[in-house]
Amino acid sequence: MPAKKPQPKKSKTSKRAVTLDAGAFDRRLARHHDELRWLYMELYDNGDMFAELIDQMRCFYRERPADLRALDASREIHGTWYREQKMLGMQMYIDNFAGTIKGVEEKIGYLERCGATCIHLMPFLDTPADKSRSDGGYAVSDFRRVRPDLGTMDDLAHLARTCHERGISLCMDFVMNHTSEEHEWARRARSGEGEYMSRYFFEANPAVIEQYTRDVPQVFPTTAPGHFTYLPELGQSVMTQFYPYQWDLNYRNPRVFNEMMYNFLYLANQGMDIIRLDAVPYIWKQLGTNCRNLPQVHTIVRMMRMIGEVVCPGIALLGEVVMAPAEVAPYFGIPEKPECHMLYNVTTMATTWHTVATRDTRLLRRQLEAISSLPSSYTFLNYLRCHDDIGWGLDYPLLAAWGQREVAHKRYLNEYFLGDVPGSMSRGALYNADPVTGDARFCGTTASMCGIEVAGFEGDAMKMDVAVQLDVMLHAYMLTQSGMPIIYSGDELAQVNDYSYRDDPEKAEDSRYIHRGAFPWDLVDNIDVEGSVQQRVFDALRLLERVRCIEPLFSPDARLRPKDYSDRAILWLVRECGGETLHAVFNFSDMPKTVWMPEAGEYVDLLAGEREDIATVELPAWGFFWKKRGW
């Protein structure tokens, strides 16, 4: 029996308001209807399902709260609100940061002190009670229910209203690729209901399973090998590319697309501003391909963009595309047919840590050159680390030309950040290590990877100075990039690794919990203790963020480009706008450097607020400067 269509509540708005709103909806729909219908019919060739989609879009629009419709109108006029210079993200798990959604609302004052204008709440939708089968919140059991220990949807909507009143946006994860095996659809599919089995990929033919195994790369070959999980009660296997308890959705079925779009619109109506599309390259499967980045994925994302622009144009789509560099940019679409508003700057993040370990900026320069050549409308989300591991997805053909082999180089990077290379002060843990290939990913907080953990443990003040300098330099470099910067909650306090996860049976096998520790509220008071590590890092980051927020050279319209410099350890970035030039120079070395300015003369030190005549600058180990020329 087909699932019932979602039935939004009757609108409480006035008749006049509904009429005006309907006019706005119709105008927006008119702009996109023909393309949306053409793409939908190309995928599904089902006019009835398309008509249902349009009807439900109108219902969700009518139920969109008035304050969100007003925000939509404002952002439509602005156009690219998510690119504003003031944007600074902070990422957090609700329970780790404040216990509950209401707890987060109570801590908004602290977030404002941090300068955060966008809060990324890590997965909070309902998941299995057994946390070992929740994948940190990415195994969703109900897309319209908050995890009970965190609060309710009403709490979430209230938090969104409070944040909007204070100029803060909310970001959430939308897990499109799969559901939990405890989702209603999965439970009914397991009981043999054909309608629900068709929403997943069931297979009884061993030859087909074998072909998938041959053609499709495994996501977690050591911790969750294979692509299918056998269900003895059905005598069939179901596709589970990530973990056995996460069933891949079948987007060939228009019912799946429609229902997931209704979930998307429901969540947008709770006040979400940025919707992070989790694992988006995986969502279309086709036998005989590698099931990655297929054209149908781009069709789905393009349709999602248009659906959002019709119903809730104030929201932005953030694509999580952890793929080779050449496969990332296409998820922006093209200016005439855009897809994601923002994408994670994944390769640059990994290349940054490679640069720390090698003291060689050449690969990072090439990466930044490639990004600077893209259209200025392409907006990246820049970060040093997140909730996930660091995978070494680098440009290995280029590294090979410089004499570095992929397997050996990955091994070196992991050994460096484990602290097994002489001179390294980093600490962390490997993730998904493959003993056959020697491949592995890495986990650790920014502070621990920079050496703050080691320096604190050893009580070595000189080592601490170096570690703090590296931590601050990396944040300055991140803030220099074009796009939206985001900091993982706790990094502003130099939070170090949390090894207690090893004592929790539900977490012990997942080393990513090493950098997902509870927020150290006991360290917040140290922000006001002169000379403490927390005060040094917090105040340095706030100074950088304030300068970035007001200095015109950091506007989204400024042009960014890397500048060649003879010393491989020096990364030189140039920002230009309005006849002025910012020279942002970073020493990726534990040795002091003398840097020659392009021309001797007067510069403004943006951090010290002083003008000075200079020809050369002495940079300490891991040092940097922001100096402006022309005013």
Active-site positions read 278, 320
Give the C-alpha distances (Å, rounded to integers) separating 148 from 153, 481, 544.
10, 39, 38
Q: Which residues sit opposite 89 in a β-bridge?
A: 118, 486
User: Residue 345 in contact with residue 304, Cβ under 8 Å?
Assistant: no
321 is written with which tokens? 């595309």
With b for 16 or more beta-carbon neighbours within 10 A and e for fewer, the 169-187 pattern comes to: bbbbbbbbbbbbbbbebbe
Helices 15-44 and 47-62 cross at an angle (nearest 10°) of: 150
For 401-435, the DSSP string reads: HTT--HHHHHHHHHHHHHT-STT-----EEES--T
User: Residue 588 in contact with residue 356, Cβ under 8 Å?
Assistant: yes
Which three-class secondary structure state does DSSP give residue 486? Answer: strand
User: Residue 625 in contact with residue 605, Cβ under 8 Å?
Assistant: yes
The alpha helices in 481-522, defined as continuous H runs, are none
Contacts for 130 with CB less than 8 Å, ≥ 6 apart: 506
Give the C-alpha distances (Å, rounded to integers) separating 504 from 131, 211, 363, 498, 554.
11, 38, 39, 12, 44
318 is written with which tokens? 């953030």
Contacts for 177 with CB less than 8 Å, ≥ 6 apart: 241, 242, 248, 249, 278, 279, 280, 282, 283
503 is written with which tokens? 């004592």
> How far is 35 from 491, CA to CA, in rounded Å?
44
* DSSP code at position 345: -
Neighbours of 99 (CB within 10 A): 17
Phi, psi of 22 (to 5 degrees): -60, -35
Closest to 181 in 3D by CA, of 199, 156, 163, 161: 199
| Contacts within 8 Å (CB) and 24+ apart, 498-507 | 505/132, 506/130, 506/131, 506/132, 507/131, 507/132
Q: Is 15 left (phi over 0), alpha (psi -120 to 50) or beta?
A: alpha
> How far is 584 from 597, CA to CA, in rounded Å?
11
Instruction: Map tokens 């994670």 to a residue.
Output: 344
What is the identity of the amino acid at 416? Y
> How far is 123 from 132, CA to CA, in rounded Å?
15
> How far is 82 from 76, CA to CA, in rounded Å?
12
